[in-house]
Structure 1
Amino acid sequence: MGVFNLALLGKQAWRLMQHQKSLLGKVMVAKYFKHSAFLESSLGFAGSYSWTSIWSSKPLFQEGLIWRVGKGDQINIWDDAWVADELGSKIVSKKIANVEKVKDLIDLDSGEWKHDFISENFCDRDVKCILSIPLSMRLPCDEQIWAFSKDGRYSVKIAYFLGKSCNLDNFHKAWVIIWGLNVTPKIRRFLWRVGIGTLPVREYLVYSHMSTDKVCPCCSTEAETMRHAFLDCPTVKDLWTEVGCEKLIWSAGITFADFLVEWKERFSSIIHVGAILLWKIWNRRNDIVFNSVEVSHCTVIERTKALSTDIAAYAEKIYGGIGALLFPLVLRYGNRLLMMLLR
């Protein structure tokens, strides 16, 4: 929740930076950063609750900011974020005397990079990054944009996942995989909650101030985290092997979304069985919590295999040989989609 709040506050920081002539912008500028830009402003003393809150979002906000090169007169070559690759958004080469602004690397007459100068004074990584940036003949003003969105505007959603240190590409792939699984809609919704970390395990309930008891209701030995509930609890460890899904156990420190992508790439033939097993483990846990009934391992295994077989048989019977492809889509969008596809 703390990261989400910072992501929301980052939206206000973006507005302050982009719309300083708005009423909010004029008030904040006059009171808190009259002689500097927002990103260079200090917290100061006796600031309002609004200002301290917005200011606290700066570290997360700055993670996604990058300069779009125009004239290059506002961008510091060595300190600002203006290049982009897997190593980061700043130049790593040694500083060059009397060369401070990006405009020093641009031939203003032709509107092109100074290829020879750049190749001689920057490392190979920096040369590749700099020369890959397109320049406009009009040489517009430099502009700060949000690097992780298509339109360059700040995104609360992306900032949240950035704050959670998620792999954004894998996160989006994971949702495509979940909504395309050959399982029932309630299992897909369940997997979605597992992926975003909002399943009401004991640790999450304590974090949300809804409970004070972290202990796992199944083993009563350790705190019930998401990973413990599905993988590490002594009462469920053997289930993965007995169902034939031991390859699907993900390593500690890896998010469920990241590993779900790996599931799809390496173990696509059993991924739906693993999804059903997760669902049945959760059902077993809830039977203990709410009904004081402990379902045996054999029963969990039988129910997992039976549901997996039933879903596959239903898809084959109703939709024929293309059932594996169409069944997830029909479950999501209804039979109208099927009729459209079969026309």
Structure 2
Amino acid sequence: MGFHDLAHFNDALLAKQAWRLLHNNEILFYKVFKANFFLNHSILEAKESSMGSYAWKSILHGLDVILDGACWRVGNGKSIKILSPMVDTMEEATVDCLIDEGTRTWNATMVDEIFAPQEAEEIKNILLARNEMEDSMYWPWEHDERYSCKTGYRFLKEDEVGFQVAENQDQEKGLWKKIWALECPNKVRNLIWRACRNSLPSKCNLVRRTIISEQSYDYYKEGNEDVLHTVWSCKELDGVWGANSIWSFRNQRCFASFSELLAWVCDHQRNPVLFAFTIWSIWHQRNQVRTQQTHRPLNHLSQWAYNRYMEFKALKTAPITSRPKSRVWWKPPA
């Protein structure tokens, strides 16, 4: 289904319920939980208790996801607590004490006295509404600012490894667009996309899914057969990639994954379409060998891939001849 971490996906689903309790206060779901668990205050101030149900404790766990990833839009400042005060007496203070209600601007003197210089500058750069309104929480990872399980899951995964969600999303989307824009057959594009997603049945992936127990490459037992090794770095492929000087960087650069290799090929304009045809020919020949079918020798694959590339290119550029339309004569009913 595409979920690499079911625990994070479960947390993203729970966060969806917490988001509903934050924003939909007219539905029955909100009214039931409000009456039982946070009657006199907001869900943001609700705490876990021994009397709470398993469902309530789970929703509070999802609320932590919202609090980590969501942002506040400052209105009157009465719902937003000050997280990093330098004054002990302001531990429970809210943002409204930093706003001059008469001018609807920040109290610059107070902000400078309470916060570190860098924090103070960031606070004073936040624009305030001219008229007083309620504070609102929004989800910055969606265009409509509403929480979704998809972006919640991605936020948890990227937060786990310490990268920014937006940056990785942009890079991934850019690579997918380049793949689907390749002028080659759909089966070739699909194979390249699967290789970038590390979803090809290489031996490493089959071991990970407990289908086989041996992940070393058939030719060299000391190496593990992952996707990149199977179609690019294996020594048996020296004759394939060495037949064309355009792939001379193979012995000069190292890549951590197939997606990194493809991105480099596209960015440096090393004929990504011919690259895709060559990858497909290598993978196809590998499967024929594995199933003991008639197959082409490795030293013929480079030329074969180039011929298929030129044939497809000629078909794409060939003029379309229109067939003359024959005139249809209708016979009147008897």
TM-score, length basis structure 2? 0.69
Hey, what's the Cα distance between the residues in 2 that align with 1:52 and 1:226? 42
Specify the alignment match of 2:72 in structure 1.
67
Instruction: Classify 1:135/1:125 alpha carbon distance in 2 versus 1 (closer, same or farther; 3 Å).
Output: same
Instruction: Classify 1:160/1:274 alpha carbon distance in 2 versus 1 (closer, same or farther; 3 Å).
Output: farther
Q: What is the Cα deviation at residue 173 of structure 1?
A: 1.2
Instruction: Classify 1:298/1:292 alpha carbon distance in 2 versus 1 (closer, same or farther; 3 Å).
Output: same
RMSD: 4.0
Q: What is the Cα deviation at residue 150 of structure 1?
A: 0.9
Specify the alignment match of 2:126 in structure 1.
133
Specify the alignment match of 1:280 in structure 2.
281
Unmatched runs of 5 consecutive residues or more in structure 1: 80-93, 320-343
Deviation track 1:63-110 (CA, whole Å, cap 9, x = no partner) reads: 53222222222223436xxxxxxxxxxxxxx83555553334332222
Matched to 2:78, the amino acid is D
Instruction: Classify 1:269/1:130 alpha carbon distance in 2 versus 1 (closer, same or farther; 3 Å).
Output: farther
> For the Cα contact (< 8 Å) 2:207–2:215, is it kept in 1?
no
Q: What is the Cα deviation at residue 45 of structure 1?
A: 10
Specify the alignment match of 1:153 in structure 2.
146
Hey, what's the Cα distance between the residues in 2 that align with 1:230 and 1:56? 43
Q: What is the Cα deviation at residue 161 of structure 1?
A: 3.5
Hey, what's the Cα distance between the residues in 2 that align with 1:239 and 1:180? 25
Q: What is the Cα deviation at residue 312 of structure 1?
A: 2.7
Matched to 2:300, the amino acid is T
Q: Does 1:200 align with 2:201?
A: yes
Question: Does the residue aligned with 1:144 lie in a helix, a strand or coil?
Answer: strand
Hey, what's the Cα distance between the residues in 2 that align with 1:294 and 1:43? 67
Q: What is the Cα deviation at residue 170 of structure 1?
A: 0.6
> For the Cα contact (< 8 Å) 1:39–1:58, is it kept in 2?
no
Question: Does the residue aligned with 1:19 lie in a helix, a strand or coil?
Answer: helix
Specify the alignment match of 1:305 in structure 2.
306
Matched to 2:86, the amino acid is K
Deviation track 1:280-325 (CA, whole Å, cap 9, x = no partner) reads: 2322332233336665331221222222222333333348xxxxxx
Specify the alignment match of 2:219 in structure 1.
219
Instruction: Classify 1:230/1:133 alpha carbon distance in 2 versus 1 (closer, same or farther; 3 Å).
Output: farther
Question: Does the residue aligned with 1:291 lie in a helix, a strand or coil?
Answer: coil
Deviation track 1:142-183 (CA, whole Å, cap 9, x = no partner) reads: 222222111111233333434443601111111221121222
Question: Does the residue aligned with 1:235 lie in a helix, a strand or coil?
Answer: helix
Instruction: Classify 1:305/1:14 alpha carbon distance in 2 versus 1 (closer, same or farther; 3 Å).
Output: same
Question: Does the residue aligned with 2:309 lie in a helix, a strand or coil?
Answer: helix
Higher alpha-carbon deviation: 94-103 or 307-316: 94-103
Matched to 2:73, the amino acid is R
Matched to 1:144, the amino acid is M
Q: Does 1:168 align with 2:172?
A: no
Q: Does 1:110 align with 2:100?
A: no
Matched to 2:285, the amino acid is R
Specify the alignment match of 2:324 in structure 1.
none
> For the Cα contact (< 8 Å) 2:74–2:135, is it kept in 1?
yes
Specify the alignment match of 1:95 in structure 2.
86
Highest Rg: 1 or 2?
2
> For the Cα contact (< 8 Å) 2:227–2:258, is it kept in 1?
no
Q: What is the Cα deviation at residue 137 of structure 1?
A: 1.9
Specify the alignment match of 2:323 in structure 1.
none
Instruction: Classify 1:315/1:70 alpha carbon distance in 2 versus 1 (closer, same or farther; 3 Å).
Output: same
Specify the alignment match of 1:78 in structure 2.
83
> For the Cα contact (< 8 Å) 1:11–1:154, is it kept in 2?
no
Question: Does the residue aligned with 1:176 lie in a helix, a strand or coil?
Answer: helix
Instruction: Classify 1:302/1:170 alpha carbon distance in 2 versus 1 (closer, same or farther; 3 Å).
Output: same
Structure-to-structure mapping, 1:220-235, within 5 angstroms: 221=221, 222-235=223-236
Instruction: Classify 1:316/1:251 alpha carbon distance in 2 versus 1 (closer, same or farther; 3 Å).
Output: same
Higher alpha-carbon deviation: 162-171 or 109-118: 109-118
Q: Does 1:12 align with 2:17?
A: no
Q: What is the Cα deviation at residue 200 of structure 1?
A: 2.8
Instruction: Classify 1:115/1:223 alpha carbon distance in 2 versus 1 (closer, same or farther; 3 Å).
Output: same
Matched to 1:6, the amino acid is H
Percent identity for Structure 1 against Structure 2: 22
- How many residue pairs get aligned? The number is 300
Deviation track 1:36-58 (CA, whole Å, cap 9, x = no partner) reads: 8469755979964x667666666
Question: Does the residue aligned with 1:67 lie in a helix, a strand or coil?
Answer: strand
Question: Does the residue aligned with 2:123 lie in a helix, a strand or coil?
Answer: helix
